[in-house]
């Protein structure tokens, strides 16, 4: 018996080296969580290869490398990438779930392609699913998949985890395909979210759109119940906590320290995304500079923006706006010896990132909406016993657990400004006390715990359904 993870992307990157395609495993949170899951079952992973390969020889070669890792690639055509990935997933569902109503784009091909690709994933999954397997579907790109699989295989446990916010009924109801999506999700035995709020939104939406009876966290279907629950995802705490003990991270930290000098460092790290509140954060920083001239020459904002979805129009526009904003700030305030904003538009290696976390005096994490936000947790873990302050948006799922940070409304640039001043002036003793409380939480609710809790609950639902609906 197996556990099969199904996600839009496989946790690998295909790179070309000397005319040959090679796989590089990317150790994201989910891959780590799954890797550390203690189970006798074989672990398989099915997902998009992330690359359009036309050469059949190269494809066969990649497939062989994938097979060794128990990865099962799904190949998408350029049209499917455009309409399913960039289109319905990232131009319709993503803005909808993040409450960016005016960013929702639609096109007749989007929904058709979304259905087609979910069916393609189903077809690929059916080739490997055997009776008794556990199938764990991840995220908003594959919301039709649970019901598609259930229709074809009966003796299988299906779980679904929604990594982004689930919006309130008032938002979700605008979606023309709302009923189909909900029916797709209810094909699972367990539908789970990061927070209790998202879970509540989902239950009320199911009731109001489909009229299904919901008793507490159970949706009652004719022949089974679907459990709805909240599992806050965590990180591999030890990996981040112990990073600075590695010589290569120490070396990076020394290099960076030399570059930034005695400046206090405010750090922000995000994927390029309008949901991350990057422009509002910059507005808060501008206000801080304007009203606190005593800090000029002493504080810099280090902004790391990881390129993402830049073929989607709203993302490309955001990139231009960020460039303009930062150009404006640095043009106005820079001196020969001080740069107010250091901007990096690229991914950082693990060594660079953890060295930055360790050095940063403040982490400024202010998404306008975020399912969870693991950067906040990584910063807390990586600080070890070095003082530091987390400023965290009240719109990030992580705030439920990390309320001992300085919590701000990310739409209020004055609050961001005040929070920066408060963090800069916070006595070290208080910083360390807060960090300790936060570290206790982040080190307990790890990604391993998250995956274990999810799978344990999924198994128990199957037993419950068997007992309740035994013929």
Chain residues binding ligand G6P by CB under 6 A are: 8-9, 139, 163-164, 308-309
Q: How many residues does the chain have?
A: 471
Contact partners, residue 52, CB within 8 Å, separation at least 6: 75, 76, 77, 78, 81
**Would you say 283 or 369 has its CB closer to ligand G6P?**
369
Q: What is the C-alpha separation between 249 and 258, in angstroms, rounded?
A: 14
Closer residue to ligand G6P (CB): 288 or 315: 315
> Shortest distance, CB of residue 347 to ligand G6P, whole angstroms?
11
Q: How far is the CB of 371 from ligand G6P (least distance, A)?
A: 6
Nearer to ligand G6P, 137 or 408 (CB): 137
**Residue 87: what are its φ and ψ, rounded to 5°?**
-80, -95
Closest separation between CB of residue 23 and ligand G6P, Å?
A: 17
Q: Which residue is nearest to ligand G6P (CB)?
A: 163
Nearer residue to ligand G6P within complex by CB, 29 or 284: 29
CB of 160 vs ligand G6P, minimal distance in Å: 13
Say how far residue 460 (Cα) sits from the centre of its chain: 27
Q: CA end-to-end span of the chain, whole Å?
A: 25
Nearer to ligand G6P, 8 or 354 (CB): 8
DSSP 8-state assignment for residue 195:
S
Closer of 164 and 455 to ligand G6P (Cβ): 164
Instruction: Tell the smallest beta-carbon distance from residue 222 to ligand G6P (Å).
Output: 31
In whole angstroms, the minimum distance from the beta carbon of 30 to ligand G6P comes to 9
- Between residues 48 and 240, which has the closer beta carbon with respect to ligand G6P? 48
**C-beta of 143: minimal distance to ligand G6P in Å?**
12
- C-beta of 374: minimal distance to ligand G6P in Å? 9
| Least distance in angstroms from the C-beta of 427 to ligand G6P | 35
What SS3 string covers the chain? CEEEEEEEECCEEEEEECCEEEEEECCCHHHHHHHCCCCCCEEEEEEECCCCCCCHHHHHHHHHHHHHCCEEEECCCHHHHHHHHHHHHHHHHHHHHCCCHHHCCCCHHHHHHHHHHHHHHHHHHHCCCCCCCEEEEECHHHCCHHHHHHHHCCCCEEEEECCCCCCCHHHHCCCCCHHHHHHHHCCCCEEEECCHHHHHHHHHHHHHHHCCCEECCEEECCCCEEEEEECCCCCCHHHHHCHHHCHHHHHHHHHHHHHHCCCEEEEEEEECCHHHCHHHHHHHHHHHHHHCHHHCCCEEEEEEEECCCCCCHHHHHHHHHHHHHHHHHHHHHCECCECCEEEECCCCCHHHHHHHHHHCCEEEECCCCECCCHHHHHHHHHCCCCCCEEEEECCEHHHHCCCCCEEECCCCHHHHHHHHHHHHHCCHHHHHHHHHHHHHHHHHCCHHHHHHHHHHHHHHHHHHHHHHCCC
139 vs 417, beta carbon nearer ligand G6P: 139
- Please state the φ and ψ torsions of residue 286, each to the nearest 5 degrees: -60, -45
In the bound state with ligand G6P, the residue whose beta carbon lies nearer, of 9 and 377, is 9
Cβ proximity to ligand G6P: between 97 and 299 the closer is 97
Q: How far is the CB of 114 from ligand G6P (least distance, A)?
A: 14
> At its nearest, how many Å lie between ligand G6P and the CB of residue 309?
5
Are 64 and 21 a contacting pair, CB within 8 Å?
no
Q: Which is nearer to ligand G6P, 135 or 289 (CB)?
A: 135
CB 247 to ligand G6P: min, Å: 31
Question: Which of 139, 352 has the CB closer to ligand G6P?
Answer: 139
């Amino acid at each position: 018996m197996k556990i099969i993870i199904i996600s839009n992307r496989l946790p690998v990157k295909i790179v070309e080296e000397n005319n040959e395609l090679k796989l590089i495993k990317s150790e994201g949170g989910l891959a780590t969580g799954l890797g550390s899951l203690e189970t006798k079952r074989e672990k398989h992973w099915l997902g998009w290869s992330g690359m359009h390969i036309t050469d059949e020889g190269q494809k066969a070669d990649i497939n062989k490398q994938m097979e060794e890792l128990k990865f099962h690639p799904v190949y998408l055509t350029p049209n499917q990438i455009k309409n399913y990935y960039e289109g319905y997933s990232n131009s319709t569902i993503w803005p909808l779930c993040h409450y960016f109503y005016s960013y929702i784009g639609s096109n007749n091909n989007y929904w058709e392609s979304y259905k087609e690709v979910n069916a393609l994933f189903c077809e690929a999954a059916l080739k490997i699913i055997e009776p008794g397997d556990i199938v764990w579907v991840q995220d908003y790109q594959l919301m039709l998949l649970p019901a598609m699989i259930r229709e074809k295989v009966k003796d299988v446990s299906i779980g679904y985890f929604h990594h982004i916010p689930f919006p309130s009924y008032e938002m979700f109801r605008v979606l023309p395909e709302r009923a189909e999506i909900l029916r797709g999700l209810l094909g699972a035995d367990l539908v789970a979210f990061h927070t209790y709020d998202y879970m509540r939104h989902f239950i009320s939406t199911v009731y109001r759109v489909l009229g299904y009876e919901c008793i507490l966290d159970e949706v009652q279907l004719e022949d089974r119940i679907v459990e709805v629950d909240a599992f806050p995802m965590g990180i591999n705490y030890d990996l981040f906590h112990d990073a600075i003990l590695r010589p290569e991270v120490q070396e990076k930290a020394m290099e960076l320290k030399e570059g930034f000098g005695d400046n206090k460092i405010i750090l922000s790290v995000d994927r390029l995304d309008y949901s991350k509140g990057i422009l509002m954060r910059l507005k808060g920083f501008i206000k801080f500079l304007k009203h606190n001239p005593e800090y000029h020459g002493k504080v810099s904002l280090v902004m790391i923006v990881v390129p993402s979805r830049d073929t989607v129009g709203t993302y490309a526009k955001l990139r231009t706006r960020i460039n303009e904003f930062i150009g404006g700030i640095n043009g106005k305030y820079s001196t020969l010896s001080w740069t107010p904003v250091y901007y990096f538009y690229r991914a950082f290696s693990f060594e660079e990132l953890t060295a930055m976390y360790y050095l940063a005096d403040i982490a400024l994490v202010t998404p306008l909406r975020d399912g969870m936000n693991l950067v906040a947790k990584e910063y807390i873990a990586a600080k070890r016993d070095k003082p530091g302050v987390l400023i965290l948006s009240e719109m990030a799922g992580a705030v439920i657990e990390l309320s001992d940070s300085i919590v701000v409304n990310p739409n209020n640039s004055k609050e961001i400004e005040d929070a920066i001043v408060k963090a800069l002036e916070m006595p070290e003793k208080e910083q360390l006390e807060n960090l300790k409380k936060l570290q206790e939480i982040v080190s307990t609710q790890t990604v391993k715990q998250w995956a274990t809790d999810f799978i344990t609950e999924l198994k128990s639902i199957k037993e419950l359904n068997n007992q309740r609906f035994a013929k």
